Amino acid sequence: MTESRRIQTAEDTDFYRLEKLNALSRRCCEEPLPLTELRQKLDQVAAGKKPFSMRFWGSVLVGGSFAMFFGGTVWDGLAAAGFAAVICLLQQWLGRTQINTAAFNLLISLAVGLCVGVVTGLIPALHMDKILIGDIMLLIPGLAMTNAVRNMLVGNTISGAVRLAETLIWAAALAGGFMVAMLIVQAAH
């Protein structure tokens, strides 16, 4: 008998909490804690969330670094970092809404693509493709796709296939948004 359930939260595995739980586990192996203290520590881990500042600065670093990694200049990296900050803020703001991930990727990629097009039109020294590739890395569902394939390999074929199809739709929406933005920018020039 098999049962499938749809989890309605927008977040996947919280690696920040998982890291804290692993650290607590290692600590307990070295020095066992009394049960009441262990329960208190577990409750702290369960209640904890990654600080927004870590996500924000991580996004800025990733966006700027990937733009330069793929051949952009320092200025392209700084522009990509700025747009990565905008993406992170939009993710935080739109994350509170009930918009689905495919629509979110489409809207964000279209908006950011158009903004990058305007900025690169005003500042010809910037390279639109390098900035976009830096920022697209923030939105690619790589971890979700990897988990979907892993699910299929361990025997959870239905949930893995559904998740894989979902991530491919997310990626298509992301690519579509950036493609439409680039076509609009090219038509405007």
DSSP state of 127: -
Q: What's the Cα-to-Cα distance from 59 to each of 45, 81, 118, 175, rounded to whole Å? A: 24, 8, 22, 19
pLDDT means over runs of 10, the chain (189 residues): 66 75 88 87 83 90 95 95 93 76 88 93 92 91 88 89 92 92 87
pLDDT at 144: 85
pLDDT at 13: 66
Domain-by-domain residue ranges, the chain? 51-188
pLDDT at 71: 94
Task: Note the pTM of the prediction, 2 decimals.
Answer: 0.75
The sign of the dihedral angle between the CA atoms of 87, 106, 101, 157 is negative
